[in-house]
Amino acid sequence: MTRRYFGTDGIRGTVGEEPITPDFMLRLGHAVGLVLKRRTDTPRVLIGKDTRISGYMIESALEAGLVSAGVDVLLSGPLPTPGVAYLARALRVDLGIVISASHNPYPDNGVKFFSARGEKLPDEWELQVEAALGQAPRWVHPARLGKARRIGDAAGRYIEFCKSTFAQDLSLKGLNLVVDAAHGAAYQVAPAVFHELGASVSSIGCSPDGLNINDGVGATAPAALVTEVKARRADHGIALDGDADRLQLVDPQGRLYNGDELLYVLAMDRLAQAEPVPGVVGTLMTNLAVEQALGRRGVVLVRAKVGDRYVLEELQRRGWKLGGEGSGHLIALDRHTTGDGIVSALQVLQAVRRSGRTLAELLQDVMLFPQVLLNVRHESGADWRANTRLVAELAAVEAALAGTGRVLIRASGTEPVLRVMVEAAEEVVARQAAQRLADAAASH
């Protein structure tokens, strides 16, 4: 069965267009309830959200659908995606639901799910939900309707969890940090975590109004943070995205560090503590320089498909702990069950504190290959390999690079675009090759 609604990270789209409509969300909540009730008569579900204005509408519709199927609902209010994953475990619920479109602008929204263990659910579960969406509703008897209540201490619980992932013999005292929460779900909790660990914290992107999430701030627009770090002469800047599961980090010179580099820092910190690191999981997009640098330290890098869920699946399959993407999704399974921007930032700062070295010094052996990524409009579900010109250009570019770079072409799982990536030792070579491929893709 082909998934109709679920993409690489739950269900996402533009609000007011199917499936991001109140009637669909009502049906979705009911379908999820039907699937949950196959395992238990009294399931409980936790719902968290980011700061988009549409979150109220979707939350109410999901709540009604779940309650109509006999499911009890706990509402956390605005909370980072990894916070919902944590509380799903801590509160022993059967499912965690996050209402968010992550790094997308406010007109978009979506829904993603976590298991009772705080892990993303497999494709099989999503297929069960899609099948239930095609069935007639089965309203429970009025006496068996679910109940809903709000959790007053959700943020506080999650703050304490984040702090617990930082080494107890270290603190952040003496550090001046700028925290950018992208006007998103972490706008309250992120500054509090770093402040309570001893840092002096100033904030940007922490004044949500329902419409400004990811707007010129956050991990997808880090220029504002770079400017603020320089202006304040801060030690580090921490940029999260709208649902706070990804991280970009800035040093005092305004240099920006991406997820590939930070993954290397985490691996080296574990090795410095004599912890075993047999390998790490990246993606098809992970920079070749990071793979080579890890290899020189005896650490294997395995590439999963693009998407943090696939990184997580590969980590679980191999029994490894560290993985991530250049976009800033970092997973440390010895700290959390899913990617967490705040926890990842703490792990990086922990490495800096332990080593007594700057980020630039920790990464002096990693000289990133220039990567050029271009997006080309592409019909969802269409096979780009049917474009004979693109296939021919791809073969020509790969032959020209002759092992000195990489090419990756893939359809996005969240947008109607084809992503064309070229990596080479020289940026001009990568840019020219990427443009050739993008022109070929656009001609179809």
- How many domains does one find in the chain? 4
- The domain in which residue 269 lies consists of 257-362
Considering the domain architecture, whether residues 264 and 331 belong to the same structural domain is answered as yes
What's the token pair of residue 37? 């009730």
| Residue 123 pLDDT | 86
Give pLDDT tens digits for 137-186. 999 999 999 999 999 999 999 999 999 999 999 999 999 999 999 999 99
- Classify residue 5: in a domain, yes or no: no
- Classify residue 238: in a domain, yes or no: yes
Catalytic machinery residues: 102
First to last CA, the chain: 28
CATH number at residue 436: 3.30.310.50
Considering the domain architecture, whether residues 217 and 299 belong to the same structural domain is answered as no
Residue 176 burial (C-beta neighbours within 10 Å; 0-12, 13-18, 19+): middle
Query: Which of 152, 179, 214 delimits the end of a domain?
Result: 152
Considering the domain architecture, whether residues 319 and 432 belong to the same structural domain is answered as no
Considering the domain architecture, whether residues 242 and 264 belong to the same structural domain is answered as no
Amino acid (1-letter code) at residue 225: L
Please report how many Cα atoms fall inside a 13 Å half-sphere around the Cα of residue 254, on the Cβ side. Answer: 10
Considering the domain architecture, whether residues 353 and 385 belong to the same structural domain is answered as no
Contacts of 443 (CB under 8 A, 6+ apart): 387, 389, 390
Q: What percent of the chain has pLDDT over 90?
A: 90
pTM of the model: 0.91
Amino acid (1-letter code) at residue 287: N
Give pLDDT tens digits for 260-278. 999 999 999 999 999 999 9
Query: Which of 362, 383, 406 delimits the end of a domain?
Result: 362
- Classify residue 190: in a domain, yes or no: yes
Give pLDDT tens digits for 383-437. 899 999 999 999 999 999 987 888 999 888 768 899 999 999 899 999 999 999 9
Considering the domain architecture, whether residues 163 and 135 belong to the same structural domain is answered as no
CATH number at residue 220: 3.40.120.10
Considering the domain architecture, whether residues 116 and 225 belong to the same structural domain is answered as no
Considering the domain architecture, whether residues 381 and 355 belong to the same structural domain is answered as no
Backbone angles phi, psi at 134, to 5 degrees: -85, 0
Considering the domain architecture, whether residues 245 and 142 belong to the same structural domain is answered as no
CB 126 within 8 A of CB 140: no
What's the average model confidence in pLDDT over 210-227? Answer: 97
- Classify residue 348: in a domain, yes or no: yes
Considering the domain architecture, whether residues 28 and 136 belong to the same structural domain is answered as yes
For residue 1, what pLDDT band results from cuts at 50, 70 and 90? low
- Classify residue 21: in a domain, yes or no: yes
- Classify residue 4: in a domain, yes or no: no
- Classify residue 6: in a domain, yes or no: no
> In which residue are the tokens 């498909």 written?
305
- The candidate with the shortest Cα–Cα distance to 420, out of 391, 388, 399, is 391
Considering the domain architecture, whether residues 198 and 263 belong to the same structural domain is answered as no
- Which of helix, strand or coil describes residue 116? coil
What's the token pair of residue 229? 């770090």
Cα–Cα dist 390/361, whole Å? 41
What's the average model confidence in pLDDT over 325-332? Answer: 96
- Classify residue 75: in a domain, yes or no: yes
Query: Which of 127, 152, 177 delimits the end of a domain?
Result: 152
Considering the domain architecture, whether residues 38 and 122 belong to the same structural domain is answered as yes
- The answer to whether residue 118 scores a pLDDT higher than 90 is yes
